[in-house]
Amino acid sequence: MTVGFAVCGSHCTFSQMFPAMEELAKHHTVIPIFSQAAASTDTRFGSAQEHLQRAEAICGCAPILTVAQAEPIGPKKLLDALVIAPCTGNTLAKLAHSIADSPVTMAAKSHLRNGRPILIGVSTNDALAGAAENIGKLLGRRHYYFIPFGQDDPYNKPTSMVADFTKLMPALEAALEGRQLQPILP
């Protein structure tokens, strides 16, 4: 199987994301895709260049970084599945409204025309506030599946939710069979 692995600008989650990417790459061909925020922002969680290089080393190919590079995913049927993890509140909003103005959202739009699964790994501080309706929209939309997720720090960040990256592999296997891995919430 060939799996796209799209990374959005939830920089604090990269340390959980990379082990999941490594695990996935042991079983499948993985094509990394980075949003502009993920590909260009240096933060206390590491430099953008380090992250791009790490993804390339894991996957054995350079990440897709532009809308134009993402566009052929659909027409060429490049992916069996697309993982978007971490998926920011920003990208959730775009996906929920079919906006395709970034490498990640274009990859999703292009891939969806083949009727193949997209697996979302939520990571946003407003998951139980402004982003809740977007998560809800995608929960009910065909071809979208979720890595099980939950509140990561309910008392200090009461509206934040993050996917459990250790469940990425079983969630992907289920999605490829047209099933949502349960329980979605712990």
Positions in the binding site for ligand FMN (CB under 6 A): 8-13, 35-38, 41, 43, 88-91, 102, 123-124
Nearest distance, CB of residue 129 and ligand FMN, angstroms:
12
Q: Which is nearer to ligand FMN, 48 or 175 (CB)?
A: 48
Cα(35)–Cα(48) distance, rounded to whole angstroms?
11
Scanning the structure block, which residue is given the tokens 């949003």?
Answer: 35
**Identity of the residue, 102 or 110, whose beta carbon is nearer to ligand FMN in the bound complex:** 102
Q: How far is the CB of 43 from ligand FMN (least distance, A)?
A: 4
Q: Pick the closer one to ligand FMN by CB: 71 or 80.
A: 71
| Residue closest to ligand FMN when measured from CB atoms | 9
Cα 82 from chain centroid (whole Å): 8
We find the least distance from the C-beta atom of residue 153 to ligand FMN, in angstroms, to be 12
Give 74 or 88: the residue with its C-beta nearer to ligand FMN.
Answer: 88
Minimum CB–partner distance for residue 169 and ligand FMN (Å): 22
